[in-house]
Structure 1
Amino acid sequence: MRPLRIARRDGIALPAWAGVHPVLQRIYAARGIRDPDAIEHRLARLIPPQSLGGIDRACELLQEAIKENRHIVVVGDFDADGATGTAVALRGLRLLGAARVSYQVPNRFTHGYGLGPSLVDDLAPLAPDLIVTVDNGVAAHAGVAAAKARGIAVIVTDHHLPGDTLPAADAMVNPNLDGDAFPSKALAGVGVVFYLLLALRGRLRESGWFASGTSAARAEPDLGCLLDLVALGTVADLVPLDYNNRVLVEAGLRRIRAGKACAGIAALIDVAKRSAATLCASDLGYALGPRINAAGRLEDMRLGIECLLTDDASRARHLAETLSSINAERRDLQAQMVEQGEATIARFLARHGSDAFPVGVVLFEDDWHAGVIGLVASKLKERLHRPVIACAPAGDGSGDLKASGRSIAGFHLRDALAEVDARTPGLIGRYGGHAMAAGLSLPAARLHEFAAAFDAVARRRIDAELLDPVLHTDGELLPHEYDLDLARQLRLAGPWGQAFPEPLFDDEFAVADWRTMGATHLRLTLKHRAVAASLDAVMFGGYTGSAPPARMRAAFQLAIDDWNGRERLRLLIRHYEAAQGG
């Protein structure tokens, strides 16, 4: 396995953009932006909802349900995308006049993923007339059939990749269906349901639902009030931030910075010790999203959804504190499981050497928690730079395993599972996901068979250069660009995220001083050859038991330390190596 190396992105020289810092121009160019309009994230430039396939039929069913006062039950998912999508669906449908709306979310440990027959059975006391799935359903053949057998209509809203066949839903809205002409395939589940609400509002407007002077008169709602939730779910789900998603996320961030976040998001910001006024996408991804996700991983996602639905600030605070406590428990459990995985890897390498190490890695421990395996796979994928699938007992007495995988760029994980399934029918149970993440189930007795099959597919599909871990940077900064004002601009210039990465720079520094923070973090004082003042730097998780080199080449972000309300420039180091000759 090869060590991580730093490489600079190729930038493209552009004519000067008035009012845009030269460093930002270089960063945008390296991310493929050639037109200044592409950094103007105006809601008016969103792709029209009418271009999303299946949306007309879904709106027709929802319009009938609202006007005839039918009971609509939203079935979400147990991650942050599903939780925010569920909250958006409930809040939005109520704003549009639905009087009978409730929700249900599957329990990871009793129902499994998505709309399944057991969840449909548990919905019976609610007597739903219409089920609307959010962030699930594209593979729910049995669940949709069970609902239809009970006379319940089903609208599927999802963004996951479809299988060879689709469930017999009454309507299906998913930009990733074969033949769907919607230009952005990157919408998260929360984005799909938000688009459905936009289209439904238009249909209701045309029908006179909001017309003044009628018995059904009501004010047309501003669905922009839901954009803070859309932003949170989009960033937390790690979907690519293409232009359309950046518009949605930026609009949500503007609401939050203006003090207009819903009570739940405001409370989550507070317990995470972030500032609403300067909140950025990374705060959504690393501080708020994990707190919502923790509920579905270890407890019941209803805690997260209720936090996002309540308008009572004190209740939101109580729920946010509960979620924060669960998240702390999740972090501890995750650290233990990652340590176990690393020990297993070290034993394998000691016995067999790196040449025998799998390209597609499958790990299992009989005491691993099924709610945390995806995070373990993600951490180990980062360290190994190869696709990793982590497995845990299903815990339902079935003898099955639940598994969650994370991939590297260039290896489509969901397609790889499809190939394993085609080559060895019956080896995998249910599976689904995306290029970079997927989930599945399999019999525990066939774990070794699956591990060999997955590794074989990975070896066929992954070229050797894809296993070379590279950290791409935006090059070096000029001496005068180590500047607090530039750091402020970079913080708010995104939104940065998946497929639109945060600005990252690199250069060589002398280490004038260093010390540890806690057990694993580094605090450093660095000297740059052309910068007069010393530079404060921090690297979280950077202390491995030995001193950093006297001279280092570091990849870093230009960040802001706002401890005690005073802003100071700080370098946030992502990786370092000994400088040549250092």
Structure 2
Amino acid sequence: MVCVKCATYKFYFSCGLSMQKTIQRRAIHSTSGVLAQLHPLLQRIYSARGIQQEAELQYQLTHMLKPNFKGLDETVGLLVDAVVAQARVLVVGDFDADGATSSALAVLALRAMGLKQVDFLVPNRFEYGYGLTPEIVAVAAAQQPDVILTVDNGISSIEGVEAARDLGIAVIITDHHLPGAHLPDADAIVNPNQPGCPFPSKNLAGVGVIFYVMNALRGALRDMGWFAESGIAEPNMASFLDLVALGTVADVVPLDHNNRILVSQGLARMRAGAARPGIMALLEVAGRQPQRLVASDLGFAVGPRLNAAGRMDDMSLGIQCLLCDSLPLAREMAAQLDELNRDRKAIETGMQQEAMGMLQKVLNADENALPWGLCLFDETWHQGVIGILASRIKDRYHRPTIVFADAGDGLIKGSARSIPGLHIRDALDAVAARRPDLLQKFGGHAMAAGMSLQREHFEAFAKAFDEEVHRQLRAEDLQAVVVTDGELSASDFSLPLAAQLRNAGPWGQHFPEPVFDGEFYVLQQKLVGDKHLKMTLALDSRGQQLVDAIAFNIDPGLWPNQQVQRVRLAYKLDINEFRGNTNLQLMVDYLEAIING
């Protein structure tokens, strides 16, 4: 282990969660004068995230970007006609948290605007797969809709849109995924990532897109006097921001300024107890107090329970939970979602052990033989869990990873997760261009994607994918990096500063929660909950300033280690509340034993 006395430290991650990593400190820029009123540490943190103007930290709704979407006028016109004519509108969503919140928001908003015949349909991933396929259009047709409104999908549904229009069903697409070479022949499309769309932020989640659409629809109906003439109270669009915040965080889209506004406003509603009953019930079952809610609670506690419905069974349960007006009924559905999430965790644990065994065999044979692009497949693996497994493998080995499961009829479906430096959808596009015989279909983002192919083509695809990763990455790109905001001074270890940092977000993708690194003396260490390491640390050898720390999911074979007297950590400054007591606690992201020195 080497400690280089500069801005970068190299050492081994000893928690048993990952291979060798590097700690790299963010560059400290000169702070703008407009941030001078903030704590010096907050100035440093914001500057490192590119904040230069106070306006970038203003999260009132008045600071939202204007809705200059391509296709918005056509979309709103079609929806106005549908509302006035009381047409049948069917919302077709996706089976993840973004799709669920998008579906719920569309249904609730349209009902609030006076549309009586609106319902939702979400494909069961195990029967129909993703998006508006011809098969799901056939199911939708049984409800005799006049309009199909897609949320969080549709931009790649060329055949499905054609099938719907052949049946005389109008199709409006709202989506945020990257389009392919050709767009579907829909009646209208709103997607900030479609060619020619001037909307400046391309980072909206699907729920953000439909929020903008419904907001514009409300404005058009208000301008034509619809609410006054119909005796309908004009809906308050802010009441849907809890759904927007949940879907945005759960979909791990970059939290640019516009998304931070949406998330901040949604969190404020939840903290005030004004969230929908379904979200309040999910917070309860996850053990989160609404008044102390932060964005990470949505990503790590609420989102997974909502996603569990789509992963393990049918996302309809999750959408019904979000639509529910009764807190007691919402609690019943949240309990079912919690149970599905427990099942998901158990299945994931078994799959992860099997996957690690596969990779360990490769490493045992030749430690240099591990492919740069990892492809794993087992015919017994669960389709709904392969995305999580791909993320776990990617985190452990810091390589682009695709995990496949059997989909029946000779097909396998894959879920991909990438690392910085490799745009996974573009990599799949390159593979498809070189080997058009391999991939049946694919789609996604820079860091995550999905695909399907024939089982017999797995080995050929794995080889082609690895070759493409070699073309795009360098060996040093496979070195995992933990980026921190540097060291803290002794005076920074305080509850007031921890509270400031907690409330200085919302933190998330591309606007990361502050992480610090430093060396500490270990006074006590013990295992709690079978695989979590609880420590009492001292800031110096005299032991005059103590702080608690916890590292989750350590390797019990390595820790506790009573021979270790000093550790180097990457950690978050946090507040622990337990049995009425409040104390400072370090949440450990990275742990290394310092043996010498």
- Paired with 1:544 and 1:160, the residues of 2 have a C-alpha distance of 41
Deviation at 1:32, TM superposition (A): 0.5
Which deviations, in whole Å up to 9, do the C-alpha atoms of 1:34-74 show, x marking residues without a partner?
1122111111010112x111111010100000000000000
From 162, 175, 183, the equivalent of 2:192 is: 175
CA contact (8 A) 1:536 1:569 kept: yes
Supply the distance in 1 between the matched residues of 2:30 and 2:71 (Cα, whole angstroms): 42
Spell out, residue by residue over 1:253-298, the C-alpha distance to the aligned partner (whole angstroms, 9 max, x if none). 0000011000000001111001100100000000000000000000
1:461: which partner in 2?
472
Deviations 1:491-522 (A, max 9, x none): 11110011111110111001111010122110
Could you tell me how far apart the structure 2 residues matched to 1:422 and 1:233 are? 33
Q: 2:493 aligns with which of 482, 486, 490?
A: 482
Cα-to-partner distance string for 1:282-324 (whole Å, 9 max, x where unaligned): 0000000000000000011011000000010111000001100
Tell whether 2:378 aligns with 1:360: no
1:320 corresponds to which letter in structure 2? A
1:230 equivalent in structure 2: 244
The one-letter code sitting in structure 1 at the alignment partner of 2:455 is A
Contact between 2:35 and 2:53, CA under 8 Å: does it hold in 1? no
Equivalent residue, structure 2, for 1:445: 456
Shift of 1:146: 0.9
Matches within 5 A, 1:286-435: 286-354=300-368, 356-394=369-407, 396=408, 398-435=409-446
- 2:570 aligned with 1:570: no
* Counterpart pick for 2:35 among 17, 20, 31: 17
Q: Specify which of 166, 175, 181 is matched with residue 149 of structure 1.
A: 166
Deviation at 1:566, TM superposition (A): 2.5
Contact 1:516 1:543 in 2 (8 A): no
Give the Cα–Cα distance (whole angstroms) in 1 for the partners of residues 38 and 307 of structure 2: 37
Cα displacement (A) at 1:430: 1.4
Paired residue type of 1:248: L
Distance in 1, Cα, partners of 2:303 & 2:232 = 35
Confirm or deny: 8 A CA contact 1:74 1:89 kept in the other structure: yes
Counting matched residue pairs gives: 575
Bigger CA drift: 229-238 or 546-555? 546-555
> Is 1:112 paired with 2:119?
no
- Gaps in structure 2 of 5+ consecutive residues: 1-17
How far did residue 99 of structure 1 move?
1.3
The CA deviation at 1:347 is 0.2
Contact 1:522 1:543 in 2 (8 A): no
Q: Distance in 2 between matches of 1:31 and 1:300?
A: 39
Offset, 1:2: 6.3
CA contact (8 A) 2:94 2:130 kept: yes
Task: Letter of the 1:565 partner, please give it.
Answer: G
Residue 102 of structure 1 deviates from its aligned partner by: 0.3
Structure 2 residue aligned with 1:66: 83
Q: Which residue in 1 is equivalent to 2:554?
A: 542
- Structure 1 unmatched ranges of 5 or more: none
Q: Does 1:505 align with 2:516?
A: yes
Q: 2:537 aligns with which of 502, 509, 526?
A: 526
Q: CA deviation at 1:533?
A: 2.7
Report the residue type matching 2:386 in the other structure: I
**Contact 1:12/1:26, CA 8 A, preserved across alignment:** yes
Which residue of structure 2 aligns with residue 560 of structure 1? 575
1:6 is aligned to 23
Contact preservation (8 Å) 1:27, 1:503: yes
Q: Which SS does the other structure have where 1:84 is aligned? A: helix
Secondary structure of the residue aligned to 1:175 is: coil
One-letter amino acid matched to 1:268: L
Q: Provide the rounded CA distance (Å) in 1 between the counterparts of 2:97 and 2:372.
A: 30
User: Aligned partners of 1:257, 1:24: CA distance in 2, in Å?
Assistant: 23
Alpha-carbon shift at residue 464 of structure 1 (Å): 2.5
TM superposition shift of 1:542: 2.0
Instruction: Report the residue type matching 1:400 in the other structure.
Output: L
Paired with 1:313 and 1:231, the residues of 2 have a C-alpha distance of 20
Q: Aligned AA for 2:548?
A: D
- Give the CA deviation at 1:543: 3.4
Aligned to 1:573, the other structure's residue is in SS state strand
The answer on whether the counterparts of 1:77 and 1:83 sit within 8 Å (CA) in structure 2 is yes
Task: State whether residues 374 and 466 of structure 2, in contact with CA within 8 Å, keep that contact through their aligned partners in structure 1.
Answer: yes
CA distance in 2, matches of 1:220, 1:169: 29
1:560 corresponds to which letter in structure 2?
I
Alignment TM-score, normalising by the size of structure 1: 0.97
Match of 1:34 among 44, 52, 55: 52
Distance 1:264 1:2 in 2: 40
2:13 equivalent in structure 1: none
TM-score where L is the length of structure 2? 0.94
The residue type paired with residue 374 of structure 1 is: G
Residue 150 of structure 2 contacts residue 173 of structure 2 at CA under 8 Å; is this kept in 1?
yes
Contact 1:72 / 1:101 at 8 angstroms: preserved in 2? yes
Q: Which amino acid aligns with 1:523?
A: K
Query: Alpha-carbon deviation of 1:209?
Result: 1.5
2: distance between equivalents of 1:505 and 1:175? 35
Give 1:580 shift. 7.2
Tell me the equivalent position of 2:139: 122
Partner amino acid, structure 2, of 1:277:
Q
Partners of 1:2 and 1:114 lie apart in 2 by: 37
Rounded Cα–Cα distance in structure 1 between residues aligned with 2:166 and 2:101: 29
What are the superposed Cα offsets for residues 199-257 of structure 1, whole Å, 9 maximum, x if unpaired?
111111222223x4x3x243321110000000000000000000000000000000000
Residue from 291, 294, 308 that aligns with 1:277 = 291
Q: Could you tell me which amino acid in structure 2 is paired with residue 379 of structure 1?
A: R
Cα-Cα RMSD: 1.3
What residue number does 2:447 align with? 436
Structure-1 separation of matches of 2:404 and 2:372: 17
Opposite residue 288 of structure 1, the aligned amino acid is: V
Question: 1:432-486 CA distances to partner (integer Å, 9 max, x unpaired)?
Answer: 0000000000100110000000000000011222212110101111111101111
1: CA distance, partners of 2:555 / 2:574: 20
Conserved? CA contact 1:479–1:531, under 8 Å: no
Aligned residue identity for 2:168 = G
2:352 and 2:70 map into 1 onto residues whose CA distance is 41
In structure 1, the residue corresponding to 2:513 is in which secondary structure?
coil
Once the two structures are overlaid, the 10-residue window that deviates more, 564-573 or 380-389, is 564-573
Identity %: 49
Q: Distance in 1 between matches of 2:440 and 2:543?
A: 59
